[in-house]
Structure 1
Amino acid sequence: MPLLAGAATAIGAVGAILALADVGSPLRGPLTLFFLLAAPSAALAAALRGLEPFGRVLASVAGAIAVNMLVAQGMLAVHRWSVRGGIVVVTAISALLLLLVVVRRWRGRTARRQAS
């Protein structure tokens, strides 16, 4: 399983780099789409740790689609739409969500240690 997660991370990173560098590769579209679905999905799946596996996958993919649509709608509303900007914003939202999950887990461990 760690090998699969590492491969998915590498594929997503390559997709983001190809899109940000504006490389004219035929793989740019599919790999960028993979990144735009995988990054928010992974962050949401980490936040939804208590759900059953199927529900967790379904909720995280639906949430990733919602995040992408909200980013696109927000950027269009302020007349600042760009592919690079969309990738940067989705990356920032995903990273912030993962950071919040890590901080929440760290604080939970600290509170449990103090109570013991």
Structure 2
Amino acid sequence: MQTIGIKPSSSGGSEDGPAESPSGTDASYLLAGAGVVAGGAGLILALSGADSPLRGPLALFFLLAAPGAAFAVALRGLDPWARILTSAAGAVAVVMLVAQGMLATHRWSVSGGVLAVGALSVLAFLLQWGARFRKRTGKSR
């Protein structure tokens, strides 16, 4: 008979030095934090109308990163490269649809576009969070 179990990890620290992160999660957390800071700075610079040379690039980063992150959260089951490609395409589509809608209704403004993309991204995050919360509470009953 075969026993199925979880093997203890052998990636613990040794006498030579501290244990290294097996999957590079420290670097990914650092990169995600830097992205959040850059996106937040882009949002603030775009809404404040500051005359900074970083306003354009950081606002563009926010416009692509916020919906891209929302799509990436929704597509957790995909392969990492497929998830990156799909979330990037979805982010571009959201930004283009917001711009097209604002142009069609003659309500174009930079701050309005940034707020609309941000609001749609927050809405997508909240919908994903609500769906996960419902799954967890449904399983415990």
Percent identical pairs in the alignment equals 61
Q: Between Structure 1 and Structure 2, how many residues are aligned? A: 114
Partner Cα distance (2:140, 2:34) in 1: 35
Q: Where do 4+ consecutive residues of structure 1 move more than 4 Å?
A: none
Task: Give the CA deviation at 1:36.
Answer: 0.4
Partner Cα distance (1:83, 1:24) in 2: 14
Which of 66, 80, 96 aligns to 1:69? It is 96
Gapped runs of 5+ residues in structure 2?
A: 1-27
Partner Cα distance (1:15, 1:29) in 2: 8
- Which has more radius of gyration? 2
More helix by share: 1
**CA root-mean-square deviation:** 0.5
Task: Give the CA deviation at 1:74.
Answer: 0.2
Task: Give the CA deviation at 1:68.
Answer: 0.2
Instruction: Please tell me whether residue 94 in structure 1 is matched to residue 121 in structure 2.
Output: yes
Name the counterpart of 1:50.
Answer: 77
Q: Report 1 or 2 for greater relative contact order, CA contacts < 8 Å, sequence distance ≥ 6.
A: 1
Residue identity in the other structure for 2:39: G
Gapped runs of 5+ residues in structure 1?
A: none
Partner Cα distance (1:69, 1:4) in 2: 26
Partner Cα distance (2:131, 2:76) in 1: 12
Name the counterpart of 1:27.
Answer: 54
Which of 66, 77, 85 aligns to 1:39? It is 66
Partner Cα distance (2:136, 2:79) in 1: 23
Instruction: Please tell me whether residue 109 in structure 1 is matched to residue 136 in structure 2.
Output: yes
